[in-house]
Structure 1
Amino acid sequence: MADKTCEGTVTQTYTVITRRGARPVKAEIIHERLVSIFVNGRELATVMCTPCDQDALALGFLANEGIIGSLDDVRAVHICPSGACVDVWLSFADFEPPRRVILTSGCGGGVTFDDLSGEFEPLVSERRVTPGQLWALMARLHQSAELYSRARGVHTSGLSDGEGLLLTAEDVGRHNTLDKLRGKALQAGLDTHDGIILTTGRVSSEMINKARRMGVPIVCSRTSPTSLSVGLAREWNITLIGYLRRNSMNVYAHPERVLQPQTVGKAANGRKREGTPDAG
């Protein structure tokens, strides 16, 4: 069911010009605005986003930055009437905002406090999937993209257990979709560890870092990764898949988690060995 408080689109009148002439059109376009996240009364970050699920966005951002570990660390969450700010009150009063802020490559400009040059423990996971599972999950992700179907212009991400989509999120910022997923998971009491992330957006370093924070060992995108995200995925034991389309995919890191389909004519059986005479 669609969130009735979500202001995901606005109706605008614009001009369509074709070879046949020009005509006015009234239709939906994606809503984008600044939303500020306050923690214990102090501004922590301001992000460009689609104003839907702002509470999940704020909670997920705090979790993916390592500021909170669970909802036990949160005393209250309040979205201001205008929707332009979210107040999060923690159960501990001695919170100090990180001093170092890193601007990310995300759409609209994201922020992170994590220093990716530090050393982090690789993820440990026995998760395995088949190509068919991933192709089917990406197809379901596209089918679930409600805002995209209405106005285009947004990214969609989903959290899966390998069988179906547990949660989805849409936003103009691809990094925001992962924060919204993490926040929704906290609100629903879902553990993100050992899950699978599927996204329509490019996988850059901040995206793979959010996956690490979520304990997700498999990240799939319909488009490309960056060189840094590939390097981090290899270092952190995360399977990174790009260009996941209808019948193909590129696996850039840890392909052992993707079970290869049985093929006819394996090297040990179907290929003619060197020096073996032709039959007959």
Structure 2
Amino acid sequence: MRSAERTVPEETPVAFSYGGSTHAVMMATPADLEDFATGFSLTEGIVAGTAEIETIEILVEDKGIDVQITLNTEREDRLRARRRHLAGPVGCGLCGIESIEQAVRATPDVSASALRLSEDEIVEAVALLNGAQPLHAETRAVHGAGFYVPARGLVAVREDVGRHNALDKLVGAAARAGFSGRDGAVVVTSRVSVEMVQKTAIIGSPFIIAISAPTALAIRTAQDAGMTLVALVRGDEFDVFTHPRRIEPKEATHVA
């Protein structure tokens, strides 16, 4: 046995507060918090667009971080009304749900999307993500999420100890940079759970591409939403679980 140093990722409680009231608390990597707050607000349906967020203030406290989010008046009123219908306190995960029906929430339909990817672009997207995760390269302990746009490559990448957090950070980063979910594919290093599919559909992306495997519910949800779910990408091999029509064979040329 010998002594050695190793870099490990930080994990801390991050609270999202709207109008002075805490809405959710996640254990997360304390980085890219404005992106995190924006993405969470979008994927949880708290806002419909970044313009509805007026300010984001990050308060570092002794035991965690409080992210204070101010919404415009209309959205603040809607959120206040939504809170009145909650059964009890909310936290991380499925926030403020009262029933099984709410847990398995409706997923937006992305079947009308015209986006297509070639087999080579799917392989490229994952290869680019593998090389764009500095925290993972240093720690081997975090998840990554990227947004891939054909002919442009990865336009945003975010990392976090939580796979849902990494995706929310990515959604926020892409939205703040002016990218629409319809323009590209979500690429993740984690397994694909139903929440990952739902979050991807909420921003309008018709593709989720993963290095790991999906759950059965994620597959059914992607199928019903008209989303192409590609997983287990290893080199130039991958499995297509839903809607393969969007994937062009290698000999085809991508058409924007």
2:243 maps to 1:254? yes
1:229-240 equivalent positions in 2, closer than 5 A: 229-240=218-229
How far residue 85 of structure 1 moved from its aligned partner, in angstroms, is 1.4
Tell me which moved more, 74-83 or 228-237. Answer: 74-83
Contact 1:157–1:168 under 8 Å retained in 2:
yes
Deviates more, 1:116-125 or 1:223-232: 116-125
Q: Distance in 2 between matches of 1:260 and 1:103?
A: 46
Match of 1:273 in 2: none
Amino acid at match of 1:150: E
Which of the pair is proportionally richer in helix?
A: 2
Q: Does 1:136 align with 2:115?
A: no
Secondary structure (helix, strand or coil) at the match of 1:61 reads: helix
What whole-Å deviation, never above 9, does each CA across 1:226-253 have from its counterpart, x for those lacking one?
0000000000000001101102100000
* Matched-pair contact (CA < 8 Å) for 1:101–1:112: no
Matched, 1:198 2:184: no
Map 1:211-230 → 2, pairs under 5 A:
211-230=200-219
The structure showing larger relative contact order (alpha-carbon pairs under 8 Å, at least 6 residues apart) is 2
Give TM-score scaled by structure 1 length: 0.79
Q: Gaps (5+ residues) in structure 2?
A: none
Out of 231, 248, 253, the residue aligned to residue 242 of structure 1 is 231
Q: CA separation in 2, counterparts of 1:69 and 1:46? A: 21
Equivalent in 91, 99, 109 of residue 122 of structure 1: 109
1:85 and 2:85 matched: no
So what's the TM-score if we normalise by structure 2?
0.86
Distance 1:53 1:215 in 2: 22
Alignment partner of 1:175 is 2:175 = no
1:3 alignment counterpart: none
- TM-superposed CA distance for 1:33, in Å, is 1.2
Q: Which of 69, 77, 83 pairs up with 2:48?
A: 69
In structure 2, the partner of 1:110 is 93
Distance 2:147 2:90 in 1: 25
Contact 2:213 2:232 in 1 (8 A): yes
Q: Give the Cα–Cα distance (whole angstroms) in 2 for the partners of residues 47 and 240 of structure 1.
A: 27
Shift of residue 81, structure 1, vs aligned partner: 3.0
Shift of the alpha carbon at 1:100? 6.1
RMSD: 2.3
Read off the aligned partner of 2:69 and give its amino acid letter: V
| Cross-structure match for 1:277 | none
Structure ID, larger Rg: 1
| Corresponding letter in the other structure for 1:148 | H
Q: Percent identity?
A: 29
Aligned residue for 1:169, secondary structure, equals strand
Deviation, structure 1 residue 192? 1.9
Are the equivalent residues in 1 in contact too, given 2:23–2:90 (CA < 8 A)? Answer: no
For residue 121 of structure 1, report the CA deviation from its aligned partner.
Answer: 4.7
Instruction: Supply the distance in 1 between the matched residues of 2:123 and 2:50 (Cα, whole angstroms).
Output: 33
